[in-house]
Amino acid sequence: MLTRIEIDGFKSFRDFSLDIPPFLVIIGRNAAGKSNLFDAIQFLGRLAGDPVLEAAQHMRGDIVDLFHKHTDGSSVEVMSFAVEVLLDRSVTDAFGDTAEVNHSRLRYELTLELRSTGHSGTQRPYVVREAVRRIRRADDTWVVRFDAEQRKRLAAYRTGADPLETEQDEQNRPVFSIRQQGNQGRKRRLPATAATATVLSSLTTATDFPLLYALKREMQSWRLLHLDPSALRAPDSYDDPDGLAANGGHLANTLRRLADETGSDDRPEGALNDLSADLAAVIPGVIRVRLAEDEARRQRQVEVLTREEAPFSARVASDGTLRAIALLAALYDPRGAGLICFEEPENGIFPQRLAQFVRYLRNLVERAIDAKTEGAALTQLILSSHSPAILRALEPAQARTRTDAVFMDVVSRVQRGQARSRVSRWRSIAGAQQLTIDDAFDVGSVVSPREIAEFEVMAELDN
């Protein structure tokens, strides 16, 4: 689970930091930086497994476009990230080896630098700093939001050296220094003068460096669902993958596996029945989601049953219905547990049913935390929207500020000796309690109810 992110020098972010709860809604107008935040999360996830240049090529724009640009067109040449995570208690690698994770709260820091190579004007990114630090129990402010029993089930702490640091060797050259999970064993050193990949991306087994490998797997589990209607509607071959793709592909096979893995004699369809009930509550007329099997062609297709019509396949289902099915499938799927980023959940959902849909999504996330047992995976959900309807769908907040939603916009930044920038920021959203004068000086400041009302009016005018 991602509990905090810090970004400096990536796209529209300078000195940006945000604590992230298990369920979070980010609202703001277009071009506020919501998609850039998801890009940063996705970029970090790819850096855990791919070389830097290859990871950058999967992002929107060229490599130079990832580095922050000032309003005069000049760019910074260094970007840095820091994330704090909650790890599962064990990790299994691709070879089937499982290792215990004895300390589940880590902070990962990474700095990339853009360098010119040769005389052709080519620029390439390099890793210049990488570190992983243990978050001590006494310093862990994120976990205090949970009660004592939940904290005991969620987090594990063990004293020991930090697993990864960037140091200087005897010749004053930078090196990445890696430690075993405990203090035993010699450090492993890797040169850091021209690193084109992260240390995490070089790890292949869980047994040598369990903490680092668990961090790698956690970051690789972060997903941005950018659902494509054509992929959602496509039938699956029996031989196709049975995990939901980022574009929504393989939905039918995912639902089949979900039903098989969670089914019982009393409930053969398992979690597919629960998914159907959730969908019926937010899509008028829907009774059930089922799978049509074509054994002659060895294909299966998603079908939707309604009260007044014959069953219809995904080929003719609405985009909103398919998006809702796919998002619910991702949240119900134990294999897909981890961080899910999802844009504009309100698309295709009746406004009067949106609150119910958001409530179901939140309940799925909170249920995983409440039922957390050793070895069970957690699910985290970040929703982004430029529609105020998603904010109105949330439960009223009784505190001074909301903990489940933030507001993002873009402001001008001018610092002495530096060029002017347009940067993304986040602010808290006022809750039900009256704000005090001190709230205006909180980190990120607070969006007043009046400003939210103005945002709603402008959103309606934009539509």
User: How do residues 17-35 score in pLDDT, each as one tens digit?
Assistant: 999 999 999 999 888 999 9
Burial annotation 233-249 (CB, 10 A radius, 16+ → b, else e): bbbbeeebebebbeebb
Task: State the DSSP code for 10.
Answer: B
Query: Residues 42-60, buried b or exposed e (16+ Cβ, 10 A)?
Result: bbbbbbbbbbbeebbeebe
**What average pLDDT does range 407-428 have in this prediction?**
88
Give 425-456 pLDDT, tens digit per residue.
Answer: 999 988 765 545 444 444 448 887 777 777 76
Q: Would you list the domain boundaries of the chain?
A: 2-221+395-462, 224-379
Q: Please list the alpha-helical segments (H only) found in 203-267.
A: 210-220, 229-233, 251-262
Query: Which distant-in-sequence residues (6+ apart) come within 8 Å of 68 by Cβ?
Result: 9, 10, 11, 12, 13, 14, 75, 76, 79, 421, 423
Does 224-379 carry CATH code 3.30.1330? no
Average pLDDT over residues 159-170: 92
pLDDT at position 461: 58
pLDDT in tens, 99-130: 999 999 999 999 999 998 876 778 899 999 99
- Compute the average pLDDT of residues 318-322: 90
Mean pLDDT estimate for the chain: 88
237: left (phi over 0), alpha (psi -120 to 50) or beta: beta
Q: What is the pLDDT of residue 15?
A: 95
3-class secondary structure per residue, 139-175: HCCCHHHCCHHHHHHHCCCCCCCCCEEEEECCCCCEE
Q: Does the pLDDT at position 344 exceed 50?
A: yes
Q: Tell me what pLDDT residue 185 has.
A: 54
